[in-house]
A = this chain, B = another copy of it.
Amino acid sequence: MSTDTEQIRTLIERWAEAVHRGDMAGVLADHAEDIVMFDVPPPQEGVHGIDAYRETWPGFFAWQASGASFDILSLDVVAGDDVAFAYALLRCGTADQDPDVRLRITFGLRKEDGRWVVAHEHHSFPDRSDPADADAVREAATDLRP
C-alpha cells in the first residue's frame, strides 16, 4: 500500500470521526476552497465552495448527536501522484432505521503543496423509488412491445 493511499485512508477516517462528533474544524481540515459536494438532499446542482459546504453540516451534526451512526464499513482508495479518488460504504442512521441501508460516499482528491485535499464529495443512499427502476422499467418495456 503506497504512502499516498495510507494518507488518504487516514484523512477519510479522521473526517468521518469528526462528522460523527460534530467537530466542524475537523470536518473542514482537509477540504479544498473550491470543493463541490453532491449531498444526499438538494440543491440539485450540488454545494459549491467551502463556505456552502460548511453550512450543510450543523443540521447533520444535530442528527448525529441525537444517536445516529456514521461508521465506515468499507473504503477503497485509488491514488496517483497528485490526483486520487476513493469510495466508501457507511452505516448512517438511527437504531430505529433499517440497518441494511448503506450511505455511499465517493471522494475526489488533489495533492496541493504536497498535501492531499478533498475537492469533490458525492453522498447518496440507494433510491428505492428510482423512476428508471423496477415498475417504471417494466411499464416502459411493455409500452415498447409491438
List residues of chain A with CB under 8 Å of any chain B CB: 36, 38-46, 59-60, 62-63, 65-66, 68, 76, 78-85, 87, 89, 92-94, 97, 100-102, 104, 106, 108, 110, 119-120, 122, 124-128, 130-134, 136-138, 140-141, 143-144
Least Cβ distance of A43 to chain B in Å?
7
Given A44-B126, A78-B110, A83-B84, the answer on whether A132 and B63 have CB atoms closer than 8 Å is: yes
Least Cβ distance of A140 to chain B in Å?
4
Number of copies: 2
Taking a contact as CB atoms under 8 Å apart, the answer to whether A66 and B143 are in contact is yes
Which residues from B are CB-within-8-Å of A93?
131
Taking a contact as CB atoms under 8 Å apart, the answer to whether A144 and B42 are in contact is no
